Amino acid sequence: MSLIVQKYGGTSVGNPERITNVAKRLLETQRAGHSVVAVVSAMSGVTDSLIKLAREVSAKPTEREMDVLLSTGEQTTMALTAMAIQSMGGKAVSLTGAQAGIVTNGVHTKAKISNITPDQIRKHLDQGEIVIVAGFQGETSEGDITTLGRGGSDLTAIALASAVEADACQIFTDVDGVYTCDPRIVPTAKKIAEISYDEMLEMASSGSKVMQSRSVEFAKKFGVTFEVRSSFNNNPGTTVKEESAGMEQVVVRGVSVERNQAKVTVTNVPDKPGCAARLFTALADAHVMVDVIVQNVSASGSTDISFTMNRDELEKIGDLLDRVAAEIGAGKVSKQDGIAKLSVVGIGMRTHSGVAAKLFDALAKGGINIQMISTSEIKIAVIIEEAKIAEAAKLAHTAFGLDAA
């Protein structure tokens, strides 16, 4: 008998009918002869509503209490799913993250899993029960509830699959798999049959939020092969796994889009050691996540430094950079929102040349101006005007031959 971990995301459990559908699927899987562990997300929109609710009672809720609050979303779903299975005559039990043995560090709202002791899960499986685990949550060794960052139920599923040594890990969502681009942006996007961990990781961390990037990192580290597929049909999905022979033949596997970015430029930064360090240390101390950084060639003893970040964090910066700029003798600080990042990703880039040229040419033909460029071994990313991002994604998608026939 094999052991399967299945994760159902927010849309898949978004209303009572959908929860009933998930319950049916879980029972079918069990009846086919498998032991089943299900990881469930909060019903769609619930986590966002809880965050909104918190803001209505407090301008700055503590992260500990945010975790206590947000963990309730998944707890609602797990109990409803277990009830639905029981009402169909099946055996099921729901477990919180803590009951499932998921221990994390104490970094509230983005905790890291430190270990998993799945004794309770095993005990219930041995009793023939379908075990429903609340995604996205764990507990510190001191007994405080923690959450694993947005989209964290993916991580719960992959980490549990590793801990219980599951034979298969399936991530059920509202699309048929991982596509060459978000099908909501590029309707001609195609489902990818197989993708390497590295490509999935680059896509997830550059805006393709079909998988939480931390969960892919975990899967890569512990060698958990998983499949992304739809909870609304039985179509085969996308297998995410170790790189295999032949995968490098595809130059660009997919295109990612990240909206909601902002660009900050500090002009006339003195061209001497320590200035960039001062600027970015101040940002790090303020817990601002910086993405693409570009420094101009120094012409007359000073240079301009630009970087991008999430637009929602602009507020956090306030006049911080103006103060640091004054201290180091730099010029003006300008902030611009309404920009976005487009990335093309593929391990084939390691062995093929001309990828950047092709991307830039496609954008040029569409009259799209590139503001910044950044590359990694398997990714080329450009910063452009946000209003043009969908058009840019379509152009890149076509240029790299990714459109469905």
In whole angstroms, what is the distance from residue 186 CA to residue 22 CA?
28
Q: Which residue is nearest to Mg ion (CB)?
A: 151
The CA–CA distances, whole Å, from 323 to 20, 284, 308, 326 equal: 57, 15, 19, 5
First-to-final CA distance of the chain: 40
Nearer to ligand ADP, 162 or 231 (CB): 231
Instruction: Outline where DSSP puts E strands in 64-151.
Output: 92-95, 102-104, 113-116, 130-134, 137-140, 145-147
Name which of 347, 344, 342, 376 is nearest 199 in CA terms: 347
H or E element that contains 183: none
Among the residue ranges 8-16, 51-59, 332-340, 354-362, the one whose residues contact Mg ion (CB under 5 A):
8-16
Q: With binding defined as CB under 6 A, does residue 259 bind ligand ADP?
A: no
Q: With binding defined as CB under 6 A, does residue 342 bind ligand ADP?
A: no
Residues in contact with ligand ASP, total (CB under 6 A)?
13
Q: With binding defined as CB under 6 A, does residue 174 bind ligand ADP?
A: yes
184 binds, among Mg ion, ligand ASP, ligand ADP, none (CB under 5 to 8 A by kind): ligand ADP
Instruction: Outline where DSSP puts E strands in 156-253.
Output: 168-173, 194-196, 226-230, 238-241
Among the residue ranges 22-30, 125-133, 145-153, 201-209, the one whose residues contact ligand ASP (CB under 6 A):
145-153
What 3-state class would DSSP assign to 97? Answer: coil
- The angle that helices 355-365 and 389-399 make with each other, rounded to 10 degrees, is 130
Nearer to ligand ASP, 106 or 149 (CB): 149
In whole angstroms, what is the distance from residue 226 CA to residue 8 CA?
13
55, 184, 221, 365: residue in contact with ligand ADP (rule CB under 6 A): 184
Sequence-separated (6 or more) residues with CB below 8 Å from residue 330: 266, 267, 268, 269, 270, 275, 302, 324
Tokens of 173: 């969502």
Q: With binding defined as CB under 5 A, does residue 97 bind Mg ion?
A: no
23, 108, 136, 162: residue in contact with ligand ASP (rule CB under 6 A): 136
Contact 132, 124 (CB under 8 A): no
Question: At closest approach, how far in Å is the CB of 183 from ligand ADP?
Answer: 6
Nearer to Mg ion, 154 or 386 (CB): 154
Nearer to ligand ADP, 55 or 184 (CB): 184
Tokens of 338: 């309404």
Question: At closest approach, how far in Å is the CB of 9 from ligand ADP?
Answer: 2
In whole angstroms, what is the distance from residue 176 CA to residue 10 CA?
15
Question: At closest approach, how far in Å is the CB of 120 from ligand ASP?
Answer: 21
151, 152, 177, 207: residue in contact with Mg ion (rule CB under 5 A): 151
Among the residue ranges 159-167, 207-215, 363-371, 372-380, the one whose residues contact ligand ADP (CB under 6 A):
207-215
152 binds, among ligand ASP, ligand ADP, Mg ion, none (CB under 5 to 8 A by kind): ligand ASP
Q: With binding defined as CB under 6 A, does residue 73 bind ligand ASP?
A: yes
Give Cα 162 distance to the centre of its chain: 19
Among the residue ranges 168-176, 193-201, 288-296, 357-365, the one whose residues contact ligand ADP (CB under 6 A):
168-176
Question: At closest approach, how far in Å is the CB of 177 from ligand ASP?
Answer: 17
Nearer to Mg ion, 9 or 346 (CB): 9
135 binds, among ligand ADP, Mg ion, ligand ASP, none (CB under 5 to 8 A by kind): ligand ASP
Name which of 249, 261, 269, 275 is nearest 343 in CA terms: 261
DSSP for 276-330 reads HHHHHHHHHHTTPPEEEEEEPPPSSSEEEEEEEEEGGGHHHHTTHHHHHHHHHT-
Interacting residue ranges for ligand ASP, rule: CB under 6 A: 9-10, 41-42, 47, 73, 135-136, 150-154
Interacting residue ranges for ligand ADP, rule: CB under 6 A: 9-12, 41, 151, 173-175, 178-179, 181-182, 184, 208-210, 254
